Amino acid sequence: MARNTGTRPLAINGLTMALSSKDLLGIQGMPKDEIELILDTAATFKDVSERDIKKVPTLRGKTVINLFYEASTRTRTSFELAGKRLSADVINISTSTSSVVKGETLLDTALNIEAMKCDIIIVRHSCSGAPAYLSTRLKSSVINAGDGSHEHPTQALLDMFTIREKLGRLEGLTVAIVGDIEHSRVARSNIYGLSTMGAKVKVCGPPTMIPPGIERMSATACYDMDEAVEGADVIMMLRLQLERQAAGLFPGVREYARLYGLNQARVARAARNAMVMHPGPMNRGVEISSEVADHTPVILHQVTNGVAVRMAVMFLLAGASKAEA
Amino acid sequence: MTGLKEKALILDNAGIDRAMTRIAHEILEKNKGAKDIVLVGIQRGGVHLAKRLAIKIREIEGLEPPVGSLDITMYRDDLTTRKSQPVPQVTDITFDIQGKIMVLVDDVIYTGRTIRAALNSVMDYGRPQRIQLAVLVDRGHRELPIRADYVGKNLPTSAKEKVEVMLAEDGMEEKVVILGE
């Protein structure tokens, strides 16, 4: 890599690298060195949130639009703070109060926003592929903030960042992801990212919620939770979407909690100092007991790290988009 | 950069050391001692030089000033005009800079834009009473009204050339060279 060539632009030290795309649509296919670049960059942005003046002028004069077609507090706030701490102007568009209710299409809405000159559009949509569709039609950088049951790349990046921060590495770790794998974009992005980084991923949940062909995503499936958490370095719980019960994917919440809920006894089966993670919002007493939730500071560290990771992504994309042009 | 080769050796190991020793003395002379002095190196070469200055100041004065490091990537003005970004390094200023005499240390001063960014960055950490600048090499071509207070070596260069400071801390043979076609 560039480290030993000893060259440097102007009088600035350090390595230089860039992301290969103007957009962040998913973790699938993202090379290991790009994931590492984002995680390394995030480490320095984390300091910004911890000092007295929580703002750097990096994206001064840039405009960032949060276009959310699905309810979200944590992710939207996280992106908004990340943009503001980089000095960008951040606008939130919540579709329930916008012209979307008058029947405007996704593309028309996005083109209208872009006509007002913005640099980064952050999209959350219930349809898988919506951000990818927009990215080919817009000049702005598009960041996927969760699309249907496809991917949620910044969540996986912040999860990997948090694991690396606490355990010092990703390579060689065993990560158990438990819950509704089939419908979880968080799980999908994490499986891609963790396996690229050399971790071993086990998924666990009711057979109706494990997608067929999971082996092709380099994860192993397991239907018994005690077995899944045995010796795991990281236990990643997913939120049970209660509306799935109506679809008949599991018989009852109480049964689910008994078979696939995380309690102290199950945490004890994992590796010593195992990390428990949850992307939020938590259903206490369903997929995670209150006892475990309250003894797991990591879940809030994930939220803290989310801002740093999103700052890093915006910073890198703001550079990458111009490199292509 | 490929295609650039070493045109001239500007400073060797001993030359760098002598320049740093002189700068340490000049800092003490100008500020009448080491009291209230803090050293902040600009990532990455400046950090190594700042640590060396701290040791030299201790040897002369018996008082070792605290050393911090500053990464200015987030304060650069060319984010969207460059093809790639330097990976940001740590900024680590654990001491109070309020009311102190801060000596910024960098290996090479060129356009002055790095120092402009460093000044803005420092202001977000506190209000030093005075900020001074020490560099190992001043290669000219300033684009901003910025001047170093302490200079190891004034080196007129052409904009096509590159000045390369190699330090033992980075595992290299210690020297300052000009690279050109």
In a domain, residue A78? The reply is yes
CATH of the domain at A212: 3.40.50.1370
Contacts of B120 in chain A (CB under 8 A): 57
pLDDT at B62: 93
In a domain, residue A58? The reply is yes
Contacts of A45 in chain B (CB under 8 A): 74, 88
pTM, two decimals, is 0.85
Contacts of A37 in chain B (CB under 8 A): 87
pLDDT at A4: 31
Output the DSSP codes for A14-38: S-EE--S-S-B--STT--HHHHHHH
pLDDT at A97: 72
According to DSSP, residue B75 is labeled: G
Q: Is A7's CB within 8 Å of B172's CB?
A: no
pLDDT at B39: 97
Q: How confident is the model at residue B2 (pLDDT cuts 50, 70, 90)?
A: low
The region that residue A90 occupies, defined by phi over 0 for left and psi between -120 and 50 for alpha, beta otherwise, is: beta
Q: Is B44's CB within 8 Å of A14's CB?
A: yes
Residue in this structure with the two tokens 């568009």, named with its chain if needed:
A93
pLDDT at A5: 31
Q: Collect contacts of A104-108 with beta carbons under 8 A, ≥24 apart.
A: A106/A69, A106/A130, A106/A133, A106/A134, A107/A133, A107/A134, A107/A137
A199 and A139 housed in the same domain:
no
The CATH code for residues B5-78+88-180 is 3.40.50.2020
In a domain, residue A72? The reply is yes
pLDDT digit string (tens) for B70-119?
999 889 887 767 666 677 888 888 899 999 999 999 999 999 999 999 99
Report d(CA B52, CA B50) in Å as an integer.
Answer: 5
Q: Alpha helices, DSSP H only, in A270-297?
A: 290-294
Q: What is the number of structural domains in chain A?
A: 2
Residue type, A72: S
Give this complex's ipTM.
Answer: 0.71
pLDDT, mean over chain B: 92
Question: What is the average pLDDT across B167-171?
Answer: 92
A174 and A139 housed in the same domain:
no
Domain assignment of residue A313, given as a range: 2-148+304-324
Nearest 5°: phi and psi at A122?
A: -105, 120
A179 and A142 housed in the same domain:
no
Residue type, A61: G
pLDDT at A99: 74
A136 and A169 housed in the same domain:
no
A59 and A75 housed in the same domain:
yes
A23 and A117 housed in the same domain:
yes
Q: Which tokens hold the place of A122?
A: 């952050």
A181 and A276 housed in the same domain:
yes
Give the closest of B74, B91, B139 to A58, CB-based.
B74
pLDDT at B133: 98
Give the closest of B81, B85, B166 to A316, CB-based.
B85
List, in sequence order, every residue forming a beta bridge with A297; answer none if it has no partner. Answer: none
Catalytic residue positions of A?
74-75, 102, 124, 152
Give the closest of B81, B83, B125 to A18, CB-based.
B83
pLDDT at B14: 96
Give the closest of B79, B84, B110 to A16, CB-based.
B84
Taking CA atoms, what residue in A is nearest to B138?
Answer: A11
A290 and A160 housed in the same domain:
yes
In a domain, residue A77? The reply is yes
Report d(CA B20, CA A322) in Å as an integer.
Answer: 40
Report d(CA A128, CA A150) in Å as an integer.
Answer: 5
Interface test with A, best of B79, B106, B166 (most A CBs within 10 A): B79
pLDDT digit string (tens) for B11-63?
999 999 999 999 999 999 999 999 999 999 998 889 999 999 999 999 999 99
pLDDT at A19: 85
A16 and A74 housed in the same domain:
yes
pLDDT digit string (tens) for A195-212?
999 999 999 999 999 999
A277 and A320 housed in the same domain:
no
Question: What is the average pLDDT across B61-70?
Answer: 95
Give the start-to-end residue ranges of the domains of chain B. Answer: 5-78+88-180
In a domain, residue A299? The reply is no
Please count the other Cβ atoms lying within 10 Å of the Cβ belonging to residue A279: 26
Identify the segments of chain A with pLDDT beneath 50: 1-14, 323-325
Nearest 5°: phi and psi at A2?
A: -70, -15
pLDDT at B4: 81
Q: Collect contacts of A264-268 with beta carbons under 8 A, ≥24 apart.
A: A264/A289, A264/A291, A264/A292, A266/A225, A266/A226, A266/A229, A266/A235, A267/A229, A267/A235, A267/A292
Taking CA atoms, what residue in A is nearest to B123?
Answer: A53
Asked whether the beta carbons of B10 and B161 are under 8 A apart, the reply is no
pLDDT at A320: 64
B150 in contact with A, Cβ within 8 Å: no
In a domain, residue A65? The reply is yes
A59 and A165 housed in the same domain:
no
In a domain, residue A130? The reply is yes
